[in-house]
């Protein structure tokens, strides 16, 4: 599974939503 820390960098709509959740988990 792709877990990009910077969700904003992902241009895919799915990547943005998933990136935000993954980014929050990584930041925690």
Q: Is 27 exposed, middle or buried (0-12, 13-18, 19+ CB in 10 A)?
A: exposed
- Give phi and psi for 5, each to the nearest 5: -60, -50
pTM: 0.24
Structure tokens, 4 = 């990009």
**Segment 6-28, tens digit of pLDDT:** 555 555 555 556 666 766 665 55
5 has pLDDT over 60? no
Distance between alpha carbon 4 and the CA centroid of its chain, in Å? 5
């Amino acid at each position: 599974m792709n877990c990009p820390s910077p969700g904003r960098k992902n241009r895919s709509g799915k990547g943005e939503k998933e990136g935000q959740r993954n980014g929050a988990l990584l930041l925690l």
